[in-house]
């Protein structure tokens, strides 16, 4: 049975494509199982959603990030992204629970980006929208996760207080080899910019993809090419190495330094 003591916070870097600087991080959960070892989220998140444990998990993740927020901000991590599930969006007390943690840790809401998928909103759009509006008013940034993976309805997209779209790994991963994926990514970036949203490309696995995204004016990138999700201490070491490499090679070499 899942218990909080066995949860682990992992962080994956988000980088600014124009400058190559570390700009943010996504908080991703892992389950340190006594027998099974490190269990990936796909193996237990659906179960946590069914049982309702996901609400505790979300608060646990939020608090872990809040505890490290000042340290992370000092490295250039302006914002940490936290994943929300359907159950979170349907909890009318979620904004108050987050607020209590912010007050206790003396951290601003602006230090967090909350990632939501389209399907999480579509379960009960009215209630989800009410929660999201309250969270946005508190100062949280909101991001649409896995953009392009569902059948997007632009009607709700324009009603939401969204700041950022995250293009799904499925399109980004092969865009250096697949011209159709490249065209889809280009169109999604244009759409996002026309609506006034920032764009994060997720699933950047090589230097060529980094360059293509930079040419398309995508703002941020996340992917194995820069860094995998890692425990916080490892993330701190990674960011120090990243700063050193950028200093050596300069901005122009930011794609090259990644080899």
Chain contacts with Ca ion (rule: CB under 5 A): 83, 115, 145-146, 202
Output the smallest distance, CB 80 to Ca ion, in A: 12
Q: Does 176 bind ligand C2E (CB under 6 A)?
A: no
Stretch that binds ligand C2E, among 68-76, 202-210, 212-220, 236-244 (CB under 6 A): 202-210
C-alpha 210/C-alpha 19 separation (Å) is 12
Q: Are 103 and 125 in contact (CB under 8 A)?
A: no
Q: Does 61 bind ligand C2E (CB under 6 A)?
A: yes
Question: Please, what sign has the CA dihedral across residues 250, 198, 45, 236?
Answer: positive
Q: Select from 69, 220, 222, 254 the one that contacts ligand C2E (CB under 6 A).
A: 222
Q: Centre a 10 Å sphere on the Cβ of residue 73 and count the other Cβ atoms it contains.
A: 15
Q: Are 95 and 103 in contact (CB under 8 A)?
A: no
* Residue 252 touches which member of Ca ion, ligand C2E, none, C-beta under 5-8 Å by kind: none
Closest CB to ligand C2E: residue number: 223
Q: What are phi and psi of 223, to 5 degrees?
A: 170, 170
Q: Are 172 and 185 in contact (CB under 8 A)?
A: yes
Q: Select from 23, 69, 83, 131 the one that contacts ligand C2E (CB under 6 A).
A: 83
Output the smallest distance, CB 226 to ligand C2E, in A: 8
Q: Does 200 bind ligand C2E (CB under 6 A)?
A: no
């Amino acid at each position: 049975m899942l218990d909080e003591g066995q949860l682990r916070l992992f962080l994956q870097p988000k980088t600014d494509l124009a400058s190559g600087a570390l700009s943010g991080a996504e908080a991703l959960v892992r389950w340190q199982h006594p027998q099974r070892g490190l269990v990936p989220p796909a193996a237990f998140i659906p179960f946590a959603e069914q049982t309702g444990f996901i609400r505790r998990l979300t608060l646990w993740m939020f608090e872990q990030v809040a505890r490290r927020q000042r340290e992370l901000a000092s490295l250039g991590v302006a914002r940490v992204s936290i994943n929300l599930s359907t159950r979170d969006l349907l909890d009318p007390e979620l904004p108050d629970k987050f607020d209590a943690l912010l007050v206790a840790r003396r951290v601003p809401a602006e230090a967090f980006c909350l990632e939501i998928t389209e399907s999480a909103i579509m379960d009960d759009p009215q209630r989800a929208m009410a929660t999201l509006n309250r969270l946005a008013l508190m100062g949280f940034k909101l991001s649409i996760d896995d953009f392009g993976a569902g059948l997007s309805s632009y009607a709700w997209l324009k009603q939401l207080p969204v700041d950022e779209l995250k293009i799904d790994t499925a399109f980004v991963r092969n865009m250096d080899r697949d011209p159709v994926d490249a065209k889809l990514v280009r169109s999604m970036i244009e759409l996002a910019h026309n609506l006034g949203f920032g764009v994060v490309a997720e699933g950047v696995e090589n230097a060529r993809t980094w360059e293509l995204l930079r040419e398309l004016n995508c703002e941020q990138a996340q992917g194995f090419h820069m860094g995998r999700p890692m425990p916080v201490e490892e993330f701190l070491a990674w960011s120090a190495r990243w700063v050193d490499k950028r200093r050596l090679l300069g901005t122009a070499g930011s794609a090259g330094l990644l080899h």
